[in-house]
Amino acid sequence: MFSRFVALGDSFTEGVGDDDPSSPNGVRGWADRVAEQLAAVRADVTYANLAIRGRLLPQVLAEQLGPALEMKPDLVTLYAGGNDLMRPKVDIDVLCDDYDAAVAQLAATGATVVLFTGVDGVEDPVFRRMRGRTAVYNEHVRLIAARHGARVVDLWAMRSLRDRRVWSDDRIHLNTHGHVLVAAEVLDVLGVEHGVSPTPLGEAVVLSRAQQRAENLRWAREHALPWLGRRLRGASSGDGLRPKRPTLAPVTSEV
């Protein structure tokens, strides 16, 4: 069983969308939930989460890989690249060459490494346009995992994540329901018995075309335009933030 868990990445791993004022940076997330379940099995588990929202893949590797290696973890989760895929131009092959080299370093330590594919955005009219990029990225992730013996949490295959009710209003980040689904999948991939139980959402409400247009306009006004404004200014939602758990420390189990 794992005792030193380090999580690396961007907003997905930081826990954005799963608001919790009592948690560092005001968010909880799937990685915290995984750590809590590990601590429920083994009391001496320690956990660090170096992820920061808005980070591009090169930034994640430059800022987080070195500190993670110094912690000598026996379990590492790594997801990065989603923010890069949303940029107007991206060289996915070059991006994943760097990803491959980083995973090689992590795997060489003997730690169990967990990678993630990107989610299939087929149910969203905006993110559906990224399916091609995401599919290419996912194939790279699978090859990298096979090359270095890493495990893969296949978010693309999780049909439950296509339900827009498990996403925040910004359509980019999972909400609490989504983070619970991912936590359960990670624990299943690791073969860890757990008590994470997603809440059934029931039948979805079908919106009329007029309601869909109104929702899309509201989303553009409240989320897309501010996001575009940050890109034009060269700013990031993570500017000024520190990792929520910068060093390995005990975690309280919450089953």
DSSP 152: E
pLDDT for 229: 66
d(CA 34, CA 43): 14
Strands 4-9 and 151-153 come out as: unpaired
Residue 19 burial class via C-beta count within 10 angstroms: exposed 0-12, middle 13-18, buried 19 and up? middle
* pTM, to two decimals: 0.90
Tell me the per-residue pLDDT of 73-100, one tens digit each, with 9 for 90 and over: 999 999 999 999 988 899 999 999 999 9
Dihedral in degrees, nearest 10, Cα atoms 93, 97, 103, 104? 140
Strands 112-116 and 151-153 come out as: parallel
Mean pLDDT in residue range 9-34: 96
Mean pLDDT in residue range 108-116: 98
Question: Between 26 and 232, where is the model more confident?
Answer: 26
Question: Between 205 and 123, where is the model more confident?
Answer: 123
Q: Which of 35, 37, 18, 34 is nearest to 26 (CA)?
A: 18
pLDDT for 141: 98
pLDDT tier at 205 (50, 70, 90 boundaries)?
low
The H-assigned helical ranges of 5-61 are 11-14, 30-41, 57-60
Residue 104 burial class via C-beta count within 10 angstroms: exposed 0-12, middle 13-18, buried 19 and up? middle
d(CA 70, CA 163): 39
The H-assigned helical ranges of the chain are 11-14, 30-41, 57-60, 66-70, 82-85, 92-108, 131-148, 176-190, 209-219, 225-233
pLDDT of 120 strictly over 60: yes
Residue with tokens 């591009």: 56
Mean pLDDT in residue range 219-228: 68
Burial call 185-194: b when 16+ CB within 10 Å, e when fewer: bbbeebebeb
